[in-house]
A and B are shown apart, each in its own frame.
Chain A
Amino acid sequence: MTSEELEKLQVTKTVDARGTACPGPLLEAKKAIGTIKPGDIMEVLSADEGTKVDIPKWCAKQGHEYLGTIEVSGYFRIFMKKH
């Protein structure tokens, strides 16, 4: 998805993991995805460079759909759809 498309997504849950280092953002994502319904969109905010590699791999393994990442000043917005 393009950044413009990602911006327009109806996000059900935003997880702000900017205060944590690896594996914090991944674990925050793991905990939060259990609280939303299949088909819902979740956004993870992370200032950890590794998260933008970790989350797509995690989504692939867990069966969720990784939608894309927007790089903002100092952090990343990572979008996924729950399976």
Chain B
Amino acid sequence: MIYLDNAATTMQKPPCVARAVAEALTSLGNASRGAHEGALNSNRLLYRTRGKLADFFGCPKSEQVIFTNNATEALNIALNGTIRAGDHVIMTALEHNSVLRPLYRLREERGAELSLVPADGRGCVDYAAFERLIRPNTRAIVCTHASNLTGNMLDIARIGGLAAARGLLLIVDASQTAGAVPIDMARSGISILCFTGHKSMMGPQGTGGLCINGDIEVEPLKVGGTGVQSFRTAQPREYPTRLEAGTLNGHGIAGLAAALDFIRSTGVEAIRAHELALARRFYEAVVGIPGVRVYGDFSTWDRSPIVALNIGELDSAWVCDELARGYGIATRAGAHCAPLMHRALGTEEQGAVRFSFGYFNTNDDADAAAEAVGAIAGGNE
């Protein structure tokens, strides 16, 4: 299989990840549940990994790195934990349902007010719109770092500068960029960074987290066992315990830590250069094929390594299936949980076929995919 669905999950991981998970499965106890070596080893793993993640993302306090099962859980914690009744939130048309649905629910249940920064036909936003939409009760700007459909990136530092100047929280969904694009929370003015471990971080599924920059009170989404302060009726207030009720995925986090070591030793810039070179090679091979429409802003390669396209009026699901069955190429069709982005692109009915490149893809993968697109388009003429 030629795997080009890395925006969904990176299927090929560095070998050290599987080794770390396998070792953890037989050596880790339950962190904060006891003081024997197994439990302490788990505590030590969490402590060290928090420190590495804080350093990696520029989060000033490692105890404010919170582990979750995925970015969706992190975003639910960040949004439900900071948006109060009557608060106003600015979001963008690039958002995934992991941002949109929690916000829609906050509108229903808490009376949160929502404003949308729209996208044009190339999936680009007008940055001046962020400032125009600010109201006296605006609490936060919530935005993705890169669209999971087009790969267009938002200028987070620019939005962060505005948020800081106006005293707003900036909550960033880094699902598509964490591990593949340098991120410095402190420098970019990011208040809360939400990430997943299984995409460009190259770790196991079931890992992720949020990093909280500064004195931000995030109320817990779930409460329960913490292994400390057990006779208190309320959840402890200290981070990270405040937001980490229940047993953590220590085994997965061991894999995430190994993946992070791999990324740091390889270099984010080197990973980024390789992935973008593949995306560019594929884009340049398909963009001129008659009948192929590519979506997104390719005037810059400061983007995520995603190329989404359609072939004529063919159903994207059919093209995706043809790529899989006829050519052994794994892509993703349909709506990609990005309804507003599809609406902006005019692809609500057809969907789009997304090719997303990862560190373990090769030039041959990109060339084979481009040839397959050409053959399908040729057969459709």
A, B co-complexed: no
Which chain A residues have a beta carbon within 8 Å of chain B's beta carbons?
Answer: none
Which chain B residues have a beta carbon within 8 Å of chain A's beta carbons?
Answer: none
